[in-house]
Structure 1
Amino acid sequence: MILPSVGKALLALLLLTPLMTPALAQVTVLDQAQDNAGAPPSPPPVCGTQPLAIARMSWPSAALLAEIHARLLAAHFGCEIKVIPGDLAATGSSMGSTGQPGVAPEMWINRIAEVWNPAIEAQMVRPAGPSYAEANFEGWFIPDYVAGAHPELTGAAGLAAALPTLNGGGKVRFVSCPADWACALINRNLVRAYGLDNLVELVEPANRFEMDTLIGEAVSRQEAIVFYYWQPNAVLAQFGFHPLDMGAYDEAKAKCLASLSCASPAPSAFAPETVVVALSEWVFTDIPAIAGYFQRSALPLAEMNGLLAQLNTPGATIEGVAERFVAERGDIWRKWVGSEAP
């Protein structure tokens, strides 16, 4: 009969199936293993497996840099960022001893040489590059309306010829810094060095507030003035100011300018400052793409002056100004991100 034969065949097939299934499963596993063996390994995270700590110093420019870099690294490199409070000496010491935090975006290393130099020698820290595109942070300035009326006045060396024409033949006010600041002595000697003693009325305000008030009042009156200031600073972006070329920096002349006994002062630019993005050494070795980002991240001083001016507007916050920079100034930060971002 046909049906019993079919039944026997089905019974035989059912008996064989359990014996065949493990073999088929084994072949499947081997095939999958071979497939996985040919696949490239997953690349390691660009920022490593731990959060990258960035020091946010207490002064506004350094705080802005910390928040800006935190946002760009998270958005374009997929980094997990931890922004932590920082202090110039304490952060430098911690980076030199523990390697943490990994980043300090605005480190004024001349001011903590006793901490920074041993950390460099121990190969615990390294500068990635300058925080700012310029190294001269102090100088003399004139308002834009003076610069526009006298395009020939581009440097401090031209003041002796230009000043008699700026204020109807009268003395032009030179707003210096408070008398107990080191810059006041330097400015006094520079006035002598440029032969301006009888051409300027040297004003040394009592404090920073009076200094800003004097400058602001002069601008509101469209007064022809010359003044000393430093960067980064919101004041230089709130009004239209032009820096005067102070010439080259000469160490010997600058040393004399800073001395009460300087008998024959000669012109020199103010001493440049070394302000760097400081990285713990492990950032260079473990996450080199991030070190490369910071090596390209110098910000123009004029841009930081503008950010600080934004911060002075009612309701502004460090975080809000940082987010606005990221949203609007891709023309600057895209060069930092470069082609290394995933």
Structure 2
Amino acid sequence: MRRVFTSLLILVFAAALLLFGAALWWLHEPMKLRLPPGSQVADLSIEPGTSADGVAEAVVASGANVPVLLLQAWFRFSGQARQIKAGSYELVPGTTPRKLLSMLVRGEETLRSFTLVEGWNFRQVRAALQKSEQLVPDTLGLEPEIIMQKLGRPGLHPEGRFYPDTYSYAKGSSDLALLKRAARAMDKRLEAAWALRSPDSPLKTPEQALILASIVEKETGKASDRPQIGGVFSNRLRLGMLLQTDPTVIYGLGPQFDGNLRKRDLLADTPYNTYTRAGLPPTPIAMPGKAALLAAVQPAPTQALYFVARGDGSSHFSASLDEHNRAVNTYQRGK
């Protein structure tokens, strides 16, 4: 009897050992995936509140060729079932059940990126959002004022309110959520810049700083010129001179601008024509970056009141109209 009992124990132990080995092998064996035509990944979406069993079912439904009961048992046995995070994931060839659970517990969602470019206006932002991969277009067809209401900023003009940067997002994210992050980022950047403003700055509010920064952003792409340009406009604001900056006129023309700024455009009065109206325009004209924000609040100390493009991306600065006219003849008219 004792021999029989011992033999049974040996058999049970051997079976358990085999089962353990098989389970260990299965956990480290890449799952076979049924991939959509032309795709190299299988999309997996886990909704908030989904049970561990539901997650296993979603994995199989997404294209993993694995017994759902086995996957459910693995999630439970691991002790990490409650730690699985909702989100958007991608299953790639080579994913094992062990790697799968680790990915779900860590919340390693597949992220895309979206870049807001310095100097873009809101029309360009919206056009880029519509082309973004796997970003839900909740703003599609909405008027700008409605978008701002949904962002919790009713009555605020959208121009220049979003900080130019690269933002990561999970598949299926709303474009409204991305804009909200970019708006908060601009709030922080503007607040930080305003705290560093020069004591003699002619700017009275952070709003004015944002408007001037947007003009500086559009006037040059050369980083070293930005503080000087900020200085020119600050000098003009102090003296009550017209800003006379082309980018504001172009912005006021809107989509009808054909790339050629004419004399009649400079004479046509709009709220954004700084050749016909004194002071800053009513809103920003683009998204300023960090350097432009700092140039607006910390302009270079200069006597210059004028500047003209040299044609190589840089500008020539002048303190008098005579000097400016000579520079225009040199760099613009070739005289």
With structure 1 as the length reference, what TM-score do the two structures score? 0.25
Identify the structure with bigger relative contact order (alpha carbons < 8 Å, sequence gap 6+).
1
In proportion to residue count, which structure has more strand?
A: 1
With structure 2 as the length reference, what TM-score do the two structures score? 0.26
